Structure 1
Amino acid sequence: MAQGATGTTLTNARLLTPEGVREGWLRVEDGRIAALGDGAPPAGAGTTEVDAGGRWVLPGTVDIHVHGGAGAAFTEPDPERLMRIVEFNRANGATTVVGGLVAATPEDTLEQVAALAELADAGEIAGIYLEGPYISRSKCGAHDPALLRDPDLQEFARVLKAGRGHVRMITVAPELPGALDLVRAATAEGVVAAVGHTEADYATTRAAFDAGATVATHIYNQMRALHHREPGPIAAALNDERVTVELINDGVHVASGAARLVFDAAGPDRVALVTDAMAATGLGDGEYTLGKLRVRVEGGEARLADSGQIASSTIVLPDAVRRAVGVLGLDLAAASRSASAVPARALGLPGVGALAEGYHADLLLLDPDLSTAGVLRRGAWVRPL
């Protein structure tokens, strides 16, 4: 099944394109989608043909909020361990990932950002995401509250310098002193500002969106709860057409009825499925760490060992797609967009998230039950059929 010298043509495929489903073929050349069409491919393409067996072919998923996997975390500056996370995700259908960090000391943050910038320079990750440290202590979740602090523009400038243009997103609690200035500074530097881990009310959250924030970090989780007289950040995000809403669809973080409500309220073109996955992903039950906090995984659920607080997830992004279809009742096209085109657009990631000519040949092949059958990244098989 190795890629041919001049490319690969997938035949007998159900292609999920932006225009709809096409029963046909897709040709890959030089790591990009060169052409696709209905029926049988034209003769004389000079590529290695691979029969997809009537399987679904989707764009590879794009995980913009992931912290680790296969026993490693993006907080570790060891290049080999960082690549373990990347390769694990690719083999499981997340062909584009943004390296996610948790709150840390200023010194550790700079070291971690610099290590991830090397990975981004090499094209292995699509950028760096900072989930904090400028978040609410009362909504810290699995972040060490001792490491949280108010927004600091000088510290943020040092982080950007260490990131060498690869910092893609930062989560901020808009009620903190200086938060709106941080949102404006991030936006001015081309960094997406996200609202999350927050006690903000509706008006304060709207002010953050007006200042330039365009993402809501894992909607519901570690946010002031939705109330009919105090709607808070959840309603502010769902009501704002400018905002992309992250959703952890693992069946643990958000109940199915509430998850479906997000899709109904915002529409699938504003919902970005994410994993928020930690180092334990891909491994069995046991004890792990998230940042410097101990996490216990039982039955696939990750919780802080000391408090029982939900810590992270242990899914890969195609799992969230399957659950969106099988449990929430979305059609596959909508679920796929929420795991590919929507997050790619939210972070301005070019050339990924769709089956279209000129895009990177990042492809996810699914069996009829939507289990992963094969994966290509940049036109090369990372999980052969």
Structure 2
Amino acid sequence: MTRLHGNILTDQGWRHGALLLENGRIAALDAGPADPAGNDDPYLLPGFIDLHVHGGDGADVMDGAAALTRVARKHAAHGTTALLATTVCADDATLSALLPQLAEVCRQRPAGAADVLGIHLEGPYVSPHSLGALPDETRAAALAEVDRYRALAPLRVLTLAPDVPGHDALIGELARRGIRVQLGHSQASYDEALAALRQGAAGFTHLFNAMSPLQHRAPGMVGAALAHAEFSELIPDLIHVHPGAMRVALRAIPRLYCVTDAAPLAGLPDGQYGDGPRAVHKCLGGVRLADGRLAGSALTMDQALRNLVGLGLSVADASARLSRNPADYLGLSERGRLAVGLVADVVRVERDLRLSGVWVAGEAVAPAEVSPDNV
């Protein structure tokens, strides 16, 4: 049994006392009402849930099970207790070979790693005109192909461009299969995006990025998200989205949640990696291609917490964007909250917002060292 003491964030508010972790679950919550401003004890928050992760520690999800294990361990050290392994655009042969390898890690969590809940298929069903940094391996979605991929690995989220011919007819079928369809990497109009939401699309992939912008006479996908979405991803690295635009989204979308969109360079020092046309450069928290385009992020979820609080959110509100809201989006009733009987995914955060403890299903994971400049 593990006993953790501090200011515990529950659905009923802050409580000061202890959490007891046993057999991978929260066995007891021994605490009373408290104002965390009245003491110097650390915060105990639900473990972070990241629904958009491509890599970390130099490893790329697209390289298979061993790489995904390395990725999951790196992000666990930054407080991520559960994640979705996220693909990029690739041909059918590549995805058909990759997905069974990723499924191995989904079935059995490696020691010291975040729990891989399933797959976010960000590519290949996106628009060739809104690739961002994705490889140019797009194609229109076909239900038979998606069903085949579902048989190979647990597909939880699928990014889809609603302006690609034929995609509008698939959204309802995919939603009925339990897949969260997200709109992204698209230049769809406001009306096309709104129609997709009405057909069953559940959210938006990295809001503002690689999608048609909001203009006052052409509201675009961004306008549809701000006006109608209940859920949406946002990358809070302060590079992908201006803080002012972040504030707009936080006010407009009730259960906006944050993701890292972490590239393989997350957790590595600044510098250039690779060569040729796909060489990337990491500098000051950004990952860019040679032409300056953003190529994912180097964000980790503990830094996301600090960025959100720095933007003016309370610790409780920031925590909800990193834990409860993504859990609710996937329908995970046993994660994203601290309550008796739930999975013992917990992070301990000191009052300076430095991560000082991580427990994944009750297993202690050593937190990564963080530069004082990032706290």
> Which whole-Å CA distance do the structure 2 matches of 1:27 and 1:384 have between them?
20
Determine whether 1:17 maps to 2:13: no
Aligned to 2:363: 380
Q: 2:177 aligns with which of 156, 165, 189?
A: 189
Identify the range of structure 1 (315-324 vs 249-258) with the bigger mean alpha-carbon deviation. Answer: 315-324
Q: SS at the partner of 1:239? A: helix
CA distance in 2, matches of 1:361, 1:249: 26
Question: Identical aligned pairs, as a percentage?
Answer: 38
Larger deviation, residues 364-373 vs 120-129: 120-129
2:46 paired residue among 38, 56, 59: 59
Note the aligned Cα RMSD (angstroms). Answer: 1.9
- Which of the residues 237, 241, 244 maps onto 1:254? 241
Conserved 8 A contact 2:344-2:361: yes
Residue matched to 1:29: 22
Contact 2:72–2:116 under 8 Å retained in 1: yes
The answer for unaligned runs of 5 or more in structure 2 is 34-38, 110-114, 369-375
Q: CA deviation at 1:36?
A: 0.8
Q: Which amino acid aligns with 2:302?
A: P
Mapped contact 1:173–1:200 kept (Cα < 8 A): yes
| Correspondence for 1:206 | 194
Query: Secondary structure of 1:126's match?
Result: strand
Corresponding residue number in structure 1 for 2:58: 71
TM-score (ref. length: structure 2): 0.91
CA shift for structure 1 position 144: 1.5
User: How far off its partner does 1:289 sit?
Assistant: 6.5
- Between stretches 316-325 and 281-290, larger displacement belongs to 281-290
CA distances 1:179-218 after superposition (whole Å, capped 9, x unpaired): 1223122112111100001111111101111111101111
Q: By how many angstroms is 1:297 displaced?
A: 1.5
Structure 2 counterpart of 1:370, one-letter code = L
Does residue 1:38 correspond to 2:42, yes or no? no
| Structure 1 contact 66–97 (Cα < 8 Å) conserved | yes
Deviation track 1:68-97 (CA, whole Å, cap 9, x = no partner) reads 1011011012x3322111111111100101
For 2:341, the equivalent position in structure 1 comes to 358
Matched-pair contact (CA < 8 Å) for 2:184–2:204:
yes
2:153 paired with 1:160? no
Partners of 1:304 and 1:142 lie apart in 2 by: 8
| Structure 2: distance between partners of 1:157 and 1:359 | 31
Alpha-carbon distance change, 256 to 217 in structure 1, aligned in 2, over 3 angstroms? same
1:105-254 superposed matches below 5 A:
105-123=91-109, 124-145=115-136, 147-163=137-153, 166-241=154-229, 243-254=230-241
Q: State the SS of the aligned residue for 1:103.
A: coil
State the alpha-carbon separation in 1 of the partners of residues 339 and 32 from structure 2.
17
Q: Are the equivalent residues in 1 in contact too, given 2:355–2:367 (CA < 8 A)?
A: no
Provide the TM-score with structure 1 as the length reference: 0.89
Which residue in 2 is equivalent to 1:43? none
Distance 1:384 1:265, change over 3 A: closer
Do 1:219 and 1:234's aligned partners in 2 also have CA atoms closer than 8 Å? yes
- CA drift at 1:39: 5.4
Aligned partners of 2:367 and 2:54: how far apart in 1? 26
* Paired AA for residue 332 in structure 1: V
Number of equivalences:
357
